[in-house]
Amino acid sequence: MNNGLRYARNLKQPITIKQCKENWRYFAVIADKAILRVQNIRVMICTSFFELFKIGPGPSSSHTVGPMRAGNIFRELVLQYFTHFGTEGNYRIRCELYGALAATGHGHGTHRAILAGLFGQIPQTVNTRWLSNLFETPGQMYMPDFGNLKIPFTEHDIFFDYTHNPYRHPNTLKLVLLHNFRPVFERIYYSVGGGFIEEEGNIAHTANTPQPRYAYHNMDSLLWVLEEQGLTIEELLMQNEIAITGLSEAEILQQIARILAVMHQSVQEGLKKEGVLPGGLNVYRRAKGMYEKALQHTQHGRHAEALFARLNAYALATSEENAAGQMVVTAPTNGAAGVLPACLEYLRNDCLVPETLLQKGLLVAGMIGFIIKENASISGAELGCMAEVGSAASMAAALFSFCNGGDIHQISTAAEIALEHHLGMTCDPIKGLVQIPCIERNANGAIKAYNAYLLAAGRTGIGKPVISFDQVVEVMRQTGQDLSHKYKETATGGLATSFGWGNMPGS
């Protein structure tokens, strides 16, 4: 074996794009090109915790949070254009939605989110009541303000293409600025899950992307770095966050506390409310009733029922808030936003875990989300629901393991078990709403996460697990690729098309 090939096969630590290019030149000379291909060299994870966990309105991170951000980014470009070229003449903005964004955009409020973005609203601070009322009156004209010019915008300026998607991603939206009915410029945005937006022609990671202090691209390389550096997982993640964001440790902890507070509030608000959720499916809120049952179970000493009912109630609470368009945190997406808050609430309220430990636990959960996002996807439109609720359950299993004293191997095993038992799960939301099966699915995700932690913690003295976390992430990616598009947030198969709508009290 020559030196280049030996180096490549032993390559555990990920390298930067710059290093990748330099090493590739080196490899090209000395290595066997048939075996060593540039795509085998992974690029490190540069995602910040605060890109993964974003505060924003429900019901969907890819269909609501992402499009609002895209609308806002496009607004900035239009403002720059007007600064250079003035505002003389008749301007309009046209929006085109493709793939899953078109198929379930109405149910997810994509059209409202884009208009809010054009108004300059951002997900963290948008008024959810104002947002949910947009386009409620047919034919109403809105006048988003671009400096000293207001551009008229109606529902007819948004085109849903249900049959044709010429672009590379299933969640595509195009925004076009028109001057006297002729296109001036356009941007194509891909909403890739969890509220992340990519722009056609822009590479997400560049040499200027802030670099983490300790590079890793999957669990295997993370374990290698931890061992090499003699760090704990929470130390490594904090150092990386400092390097990527430029914030101090105190500032990062303060922002994590804010994320935790929004998650906590979403549970508490959801536990108070009753009634039917919007959207016409006649789905009743059940979190409050479930919590009352949990209290009764506790009173009667039914411990197993009390545990399950509490996790169910907390997950239902946040998921119902999400379905009602209220503020939640992408964890890693809005559709799966109920799982982690439920597990955090259980640890906080019922196990009395201190906030400082929960903050570190959420960092660890975020690491699982980073690895899944980098190596597979967290988008239901790309890989089905295993990428959303499966990822959330995997992150929550890691949280449970960490907060209960598990080491990185146990954390990794808990995350692996939780993800493994979501493989193949389809995304088929009825009427394109994030209600059936999504709300109950979050409750089940929380319970599976708890059980995955127990299964991992119970593995003592029997060696390494047969399947590693990285392997199950790869299997998820392959399984998701094989799924029919009917089961990828298009509401054209499965539960979404098998039964009548609107006649089911609950699901």
Residue 121 vs 319, nearer CB to ligand SF4? 319
Shortest distance (Å) from residue 144 CB to ligand SF4: 28
Choices 24-32, 86-94, 159-167, 426-434; region in contact with ligand SF4 by CB under 6 A? 426-434
Choices 202-210, 218-226, 381-389, 393-401; region in contact with ligand SF4 by CB under 6 A? 381-389
Residue 105 vs 335, nearer CB to ligand SF4? 335
Shortest distance (Å) from residue 389 CB to ligand SF4: 5
170 lines the binding site for ligand SF4 (CB under 6 A): no
**Which positions ≥6 away from 259 have C-beta within 8 Å?**
50, 53, 55, 329, 362
Give me the count of residues in the chain.
Answer: 507
Q: What is the DSSP letter of 211?
A: P
Measure the CA–CA gap between 169 and 319, rounded to whole angstroms.
26
Residue nearest to ligand SF4 (CB): 335
Among 388, 416, 440, 470, binds ligand SF4 (CB under 6 A): 388
Residue 310 φ/ψ, nearest 5 degrees: -65, -50
Among 260, 267, 438, 483, binds ligand SF4 (CB under 6 A): 438
Residue 72 vs 172, nearer CB to ligand SF4? 172
Among 70, 397, 427, 447, binds ligand SF4 (CB under 6 A): 427
Between strands 91-99 and 158-161, the pairing is parallel
Q: How far is CA 157 from the centre of its chain?
A: 28
What separation, in Å, do the N-terminal and C-terminal C-alpha atoms of the chain show? 60
Among 153, 489, 490, 492, binds ligand SF4 (CB under 6 A): 489
| Window 331 to 350, contacts with ligand SF4 (CB under 6 A) | 335-336
Measure the CA–CA gap between 73 and 79, rounded to whole angstroms.
10
Beta bridge partners of 173: 97, 189
**Which positions ≥6 away from 175 have C-beta within 8 Å?**
70, 71, 74, 93, 94, 95, 114, 186, 187, 189
Choices 173-181, 217-225, 432-440, 459-467; region in contact with ligand SF4 by CB under 6 A? 432-440
Residue 417 vs 438, nearer CB to ligand SF4? 438
Measure the CA–CA gap between 303 and 444, rounded to whole angstroms.
18
Choices 89-97, 231-239, 301-309, 434-442; region in contact with ligand SF4 by CB under 6 A? 434-442
137 to each of 132, 140, 159, 276, how far by Cα in Å? 12, 6, 18, 21
Shortest distance (Å) from residue 12 CB to ligand SF4: 33
373: nearest Cα among 79, 136, 44, 75: 44
Shortest distance (Å) from residue 489 CB to ligand SF4: 5
Shortest distance (Å) from residue 62 CB to ligand SF4: 8
- Tokens in use for 187? 């941007």
Among 109, 117, 123, 380, binds ligand SF4 (CB under 6 A): 380
Measure the CA–CA gap between 363 and 357, rounded to whole angstroms.
10
Shortest distance (Å) from residue 378 CB to ligand SF4: 10
Shortest distance (Å) from residue 202 CB to ligand SF4: 26
Site residues, ligand SF4 (CB under 6 A): 335-336, 380, 385, 388-389, 427, 429, 434, 437-438, 441, 489
